[in-house]
Amino acid sequence: MLTINNIKENKNQYVKLLKIKKFDAEHLFDKLIDLDDQRKVIQKSKEDLQSQSKKISEKIGSIYKSGNIDKAEFFKNESINIKEKTKKLQKKSLSIEKEIFDILIQIPNVPHNSVPFGDSDKENVIIKDVAQMPETSENLKAHWDLAKIYNLIDFEIGNKIAGTGFPLYVNKGAKLQRALISYFIDKNIEAGYTEYLPPYLVNEESAFGTGNFPDKEGQMYHVNKDDLFLIPTAEVPITNIFRNKIVKNLPIKCTAYSPCFRREAGSYGKNVRGLNRLHQFEKVEIVQIQYPEKSYETLHEMVNHVSSILDDLKLPYRVIQLCGGDLSFTSALTYDFEVFSVAQNKWLEVSSVSNFEAYQSNRLKLRYKDINEKNKLCHTLNGSALALPRVYAAILEINQTKNGIKVPKVLQKYTGFDMIS
């Protein structure tokens, strides 16, 4: 969430940058600045009245002692009038503060100045691509067919148990899934991340802190009776560990496995078949909290880390910088990772690595002390390392042979087998 002071100091720059996200902020900024000016006038009036009230209170005691009851009663009534005026000003001040807050939460994060203009993924910029595309063939089977042939995933029973988008992993299929989770976590720990196993439900304050609430797109599952939300990613509970904290010794590096829950409202058609799009899926997340001046260096370190995982799995992938039209509400800069599905002949997103700068930290009140012992907002970053469904799908498709599916070498110590046949 942006701050009034930053908006005042950078108004023209922010207006220009937010247009990259197709967001016209100028009228909202003008309204915010006007409301803040009103708030300051009211605050000054309140302080003046409080000063008067204090002086009158000091007088009343001495006047009573002197025996001038009428004069004392006059000042007593004057004090009551001042308190009533102060209450009215306080009520108006709270109303203005709420209006300011309600406007601020409508404004997305300001994109980094390197984010390209564009309305859709056609304007995204490919940063890194595979040197040579793998061969595709009409004879290659898609992962949903392979899953059925080798009894790895039962989509029909998952549908019976819960509904579309809730797969049931079976036998070696379940073990391959668990192997991926263990490998991702171990790889992250080797890179200096501390492992957590977080709650899978969060309260509204936690969802607000990371920018997931208010839920503008209706993607979060809500448990009405308890007023809790199923997490869309481990980013939400992990980042909230540090809500309302002043942290030290940055960077802080966290990793966590969790199931993730997303309604994916309006999803239909062939693009959601199999593992392409699910309501429940597994993901391993990485989160970092960093000093502002080091956050973009950290972002690129995180991109390189995710790249190393895909290199180990021997999957064809590319890294894409998102344009303004594809950038999320909370992100300042995002790199997406896509693996290539040889059977579907298309790219599938498996990770987003983002820098939120101070947008989440302002909501979370997540701060550090600078060299002058002043509280400053941290920068937060997160990324998928990795989301499992499409990685799993790509592994099945690219490693299929006449004799079965070869298990990537880095996973074999976790699965205990090198071939699914």
Mind listing the pLDDT tens digit for each residue in 105-144? 999 999 999 999 998 778 999 999 976 677 766 789 999 9
Least Cα distance to 350 among 394, 381, 414 occurs for: 394
Mean pLDDT value across residues 6-31: 96
Mean pLDDT value across residues 82-104: 94
Q: 62 pLDDT band (50/70/90 cuts)?
A: low
Q: 67 pLDDT band (50/70/90 cuts)?
A: low
Asked whether the predicted pLDDT for residue 68 surpasses 70, the reply is no
Measured at the CA of 148, the angle between CA 143 and CA 153, to 5 degrees, comes to 80
Task: Sketch out the chain's domains with CATH numbers.
Answer: 4-104 (1.10.287.40), 121-420 (3.30.930.10)
Asked whether the predicted pLDDT for residue 267 surpasses 70, the reply is no
pLDDT score at 119: 85
Q: 233 pLDDT band (50/70/90 cuts)?
A: very high
DSSP state of 355: E
pLDDT score at 133: 73
Asked whether the predicted pLDDT for residue 170 surpasses 60, the reply is yes
CA–CA separation, 370 vs 102, rounded Å?
30
pLDDT score at 136: 67
Measured at the CA of 84, the angle between CA 83 and CA 87, to 5 degrees, comes to 85
Mean pLDDT value across residues 71-93: 83
pLDDT score at 388: 98
Asked whether the predicted pLDDT for residue 55 surpasses 60, the reply is yes
251, amino acid identity: P
Q: 72 pLDDT band (50/70/90 cuts)?
A: low
Residue 181 token pair: 């989770």
Mean pLDDT of all residues belonging to the chain = 93
Asked whether the predicted pLDDT for residue 56 surpasses 70, the reply is yes
CA–CA separation, 382 vs 366, rounded Å?
15
Mean pLDDT value across residues 382-396: 97
Asked whether the predicted pLDDT for residue 214 surpasses 60, the reply is yes
- Rg (the chain; Cα; Å): 28
Whether 232 contacts 239, CB under 8 Å: no
Of 48-57, 245-254, 389-398, give the lowest mean pLDDT range. 48-57
Q: 75 pLDDT band (50/70/90 cuts)?
A: low
Asked whether the predicted pLDDT for residue 27 surpasses 80, the reply is yes
379-387: strand order across its sheet: 125-128, 317-321, 333-341, 346-357, 379-387, 280-290, 252-261, 194-196
pLDDT score at 79: 79
Q: 70 pLDDT band (50/70/90 cuts)?
A: low
Mean pLDDT value across residues 384-404: 96
pLDDT score at 270: 53
pLDDT digit string, tens, across residues 341-358 = 999 999 999 999 999 999
**What b/e readout covers 112-146, taking b as 16+ CB neighbours within 10 angstroms?**
beebbebeeeeebeeeeeeeeeeeeeeebbbbbeb
pLDDT score at 354: 98
pLDDT score at 60: 67
Show the DSSP H helices in 142-210 as ranges.
143-149, 155-161, 172-190, 204-209
Asked whether the predicted pLDDT for residue 99 surpasses 90, the reply is yes
Helix (H) or strand (E) holding 221: none
Give strand pairing partners of 22: none
Kindly report the number of other CB atoms within 10 A of residue 205's CB atom: 13
Mean pLDDT value across residues 157-162: 96
Asked whether the predicted pLDDT for residue 65 surpasses 60, the reply is no
